[in-house]
Structure 1
Amino acid sequence: MANQPLKIGGVTVRPGESKDIGLELSETYTGDAIRMPVRVIRAKKPGPRVFVTAAIHGDEINGTGIIHDFLFGEACTIKRGALILVPVVNVLGFENNQRYLPDRRDLNRSFPGSSNGSMASRIAKKLMTEITSKCDYGIDLHSAAFQRTNYPNVRADLSQAATRKLALAFGCALVIDGKGPLGSFRRECARAGCPTIILEAGEPWKIEPSVLQIGVQGIRNVLIHLGMQDGDPIPPPYQATIRKTQWVRATVGGILKFHISPGEFVKEGQPIATNYSILGQEQNIITSPANGIAIGMATMPAVKPGEPVCHIATLTAGQISRYEKRLNTSKADPYKQAQEDLATNVDIVDRAPVEGV
């Protein structure tokens, strides 16, 4: 695509130009246009075209903050190719502090979309037509769902060579293998020939400093990898490829007190949380089903049977031993800082480990 004309929303961006475009997505009840903000940066020299999108879920604004920070200073200057930045995709959800669109559909389950379908389907089609089809690579930024937090991790279909290289180049400590849910943006982008990865990090409704640092650093790593920027990539303290994850769920209703923080390594049988009755009586101890790392946790301490408590990514005992040493000895490590930052949003108390752990 390097030498093809670049036109978005009817606006042509020529080599060496940067333009802000309001891409029309829908209309209000009064017929006024609803526009998605897009910044297009095009270098004079031809090269790869990369998009970075955020807030496909309107309440997941850590990605919005990442793009916002990336736009400051010289971080977004490129020497070749084109960079398309979309800080808010789901403008309607963003305006209402809502994950979903007004039609109650999940935009990230509506791709590739249709020009004659539902509101979600039409917006999905517009994004595929105006952004995906004009790019060679994509990065989509997400946070956890309502009442949860995610320790920073990249998710990608590692069976595709180009996607795998992109995921590893981002430089996140955790890379989770998977195609993505049916109808998700990254899955359909990959099917359309545009290798795309996602970053999952932090909570909804928040812009968290350590998440911003990891996100901005990751975007820059990708651009260096693609030859669009000069410099040396910043590697993570370790990089683990995750093939299996599992949610640990509550078995009885009650109030949780956690014994681990997001991003903490755990061993099989280690206490994750204690479930207390509403009057303070201990009901049961929830333990880890495997060796691994806590990549997601509930921030809502009240639970019913079956509700998620902790998301564990499986690692070997040897991996845990190596990674803990690298994380603990690294200076100014945003991943260590993310552990501390995200832990402030859950009630954590000490508890002696179970026997044998």
Structure 2
Amino acid sequence: MMQDLTIEGFSVPAGERARGQISALELADGSSVQLPLVLINGAKPGPRIYIGAGIHGDEVNGIALVNRALAAIDPKTLSGSIVCCPVQQPLALLADHRLPISQYLKSPLDQAPTDAWTCFPGDPQGNIAQVMAATLFRLISQCDAALDVHTPTRGGRYVPIAILPHMNLGEPAREAERMAQLLGTGWIMRGDKGMYVSDGILCVEATKAGIPGFTFEIGEGGRLEEDQVAIGAQCVANLLIGLGMIEGDQVPPAETHVMRDFLGLRANRGGLLITERALGEAVKAGDVLCRIFNVYGDEVEVVSAPEDGLLVRTTTLGSVSKGERVATLGLL
């Protein structure tokens, strides 16, 4: 028989769900920054999974899709339990910005690092980002697995993609890869270098601690997109079905691409950007990906694929400066 789900002062009986908030920070006016929680305790034994979204304030697709996925779950038929924080950085959401920019502008040097996502496992005696990460990691540490939901920043769009921690983390990393397959996005990045596998990233530090986790990116930052919310909610359901937590039929992708690295391409000229390839399309070395035109209408740069790959991220901005990213390939 399932026990009560007891976490952060909440106690949820078997077969029930609850909402709550936990205090994470005190601001200058004495008000408290509260982390919202959705707690679902199944009627039957099973794993406890942590699901987090909105650690960046422009990632509203993630907030919407986890809420939709959880709303469809009946606690009386759930096996195991779910601990969800749909907004992992409320200050960033209030700013409608990737970071809690008002705090950073107040004291830039004291607030570095600024991104809680890069600060795990955090420091309860550190700066705002580190305290927030420590609070979240306390939740994660009480679970058996972790799913971290994201979108790229404004002006970028990803295919739905599961991004794994590096594979040198032993059995928890292998379990994270199994979970990524269950998610059913059709796109998996299994890389060993770059930002997503760096120390301090949420899923990397969770996996180091024996809690298999991975990053799920979908859609575009700063936009709430119904089609992406629907796809993402189905992916979360796929994962829970695959873990034996809920009943139902998974919706598998037509094909799954497992990639070994990201290759980001940046503009050498500034101007107006026109992308010529569809997101998710396979490209060959030499294929034209996008073109840049100056303000007089002259074509000043043609950006071509330097090698074969899959177009996993496009830039949706209408204009770019030299040095800005214009496309990202996934290399097989």
TM-score (norm 1): 0.83
Q: Which whole-Å deviations, capped at 9, do the CAs of 1:195-247 have from their partners, x for residues lacking one?
A: 11111111112121221122111111111111111122111010011002201
2:170 is matched with: none
How far, CA to CA, are the matches of 2:13 and 2:153 in structure 1? 39
Is the 2:163–2:214 contact (alpha carbons within 8 Å) kept by the matching residues of 1? Answer: yes
Structure 2: segments with no counterpart, 5+ residues: 105-113, 168-172
Q: Is the CA contact 1:112–1:183 (under 8 Å) kept in the aligned structure 2?
A: yes
The structure 1 residue matched to 2:142, chosen from 109, 126, 134, is: 134
Partner of 1:349: none
SS in 2 for 1:19: strand
Q: Report the counterpart of residue 13 of structure 1 in structure 2.
A: 12
Paired position in structure 2 for 1:310: 327
Using the alignment, how far apart are the partners of 1:69 and 1:44 within structure 2? 21
| 3-state SS of paired residue (1:172) | coil
- The CA deviation string for residues 17-54 of structure 1, in whole angstroms up to 9 with x for no partner, is 31111011112322122211111000122210011111
Taking the aligned partners of 2:75 and 2:56, their CA distance within structure 1 comes to 24
Write out aligned runs for 1:262-273 (5 A): 262-273=279-290
Q: Give the 3 Å change call, closer, same or farther, for CA 150–8 of structure 1 in structure 2.
A: same
For 2:221 and 2:309, the matched residues in 1 are separated by: 24
Contact 2:241–2:249 (CA under 8 A) maintained in structure 1: yes
**1:260 deviation in Å?**
1.2
Match of 2:250 in 1: 233
Identity between Structure 1 and Structure 2 (%): 29
Choose from 123, 132, 135 the match for 1:123: 132
SS at match of 1:154: strand
Q: Distance in 2 between matches of 1:61 and 1:13?
A: 27
Q: Is residue 2:295 matched to residue 1:278?
A: yes
Residue of structure 1 in register with 2:216 after alignment = 199
Letter in 1 for 2:284: K
Determine if contact 1:44/1:80 at 8 Å carries over to the other structure. Answer: yes
Q: Secondary structure at the match of 1:71?
A: helix
Deviation, 1:148, is 1.4
Superposition CA RMSD, Å: 1.9
Aligned match of 2:68: 69
**Which letter does structure 1 place at the counterpart of 2:131?**
R
Specify the SS of the correspondent of 1:163.
Answer: helix
> Deviations 1:229-280 (Å, cap 9, x if unpaired)?
1122111010011002201111122222221122222121111111211111
Task: Render the CA deviation track for 1:278-335: whole Å, top value 9, x for unaligned.
Answer: 11111221111122211111122322222211001124xxxxxxxxxxxxxxxxxxxx
Counterpart secondary structure, 1:89:
coil
The residue aligned with 1:59 is 58
Give the secondary structure class of the aligned counterpart of 1:157: coil
1:48–1:82 Cα contact (<8 Å) kept: yes
How far does residue 75 in structure 1 lie from its aligned partner after superposition? 6.7
Q: 1:98 to 1:45 in 2, by over 3 A?
A: same
Once the two structures are TM-superposed, the CA of residue 77 in structure 1 deviates from its matched residue by: 6.4
In structure 2, what is the equivalent of residue 255 of structure 1?
A: 272
Q: Gaps (5+ residues) in structure 1?
A: 316-357
Range with greater deviation from structure 2 (154-163 or 110-119): 154-163
1:56 shift after superposition: 0.6
Q: Which amino acid aligns with 1:264?
A: E
CA 1:137 to 1:212, structure 2 compared with 1: closer, same or farther past 3 Å?
same
Give SS of 2:197's match: coil
| Aligned counterparts of 1:288 and 1:143: Cα–Cα separation in 2 | 24
- Does the CA-based 8 Å contact 1:266-1:293 persist in structure 2? yes
Give the alignment's TM-score, normalised by structure 2.
0.89
Q: 1:73 to 1:48 in 2, by over 3 A?
A: closer
State which drifts further: 176-185 or 202-211.
Answer: 176-185
Aligned partner of 2:110 in structure 1 is none
Within 2, Cα distance between the matches of 1:77 and 1:294? Answer: 42
Alignment match of 1:163 (pick from 158, 164, 176):
176
Query: Quick one: structure 1 residues 17 and 77, their matched pair in 2 at CA, closer, same or farther if it must change by over 3 Å?
Result: closer
Instruction: After superposition, give the CA deviation of every residue in 1:171-201 in whole Å (9 maximum; x if it has no partner).
Output: 1110001362331111111111111111111
- Following superposition of structure 1 onto structure 2, how do residues 5-154 of structure 1 map, counting pairs within 5 Å? 6-74=5-73, 78-101=77-100, 102-104=102-104, 105-129=114-138, 131-154=139-162
Question: Does the aligned pair in 2 maintain the 1:171–1:218 contact within 8 Å?
Answer: yes
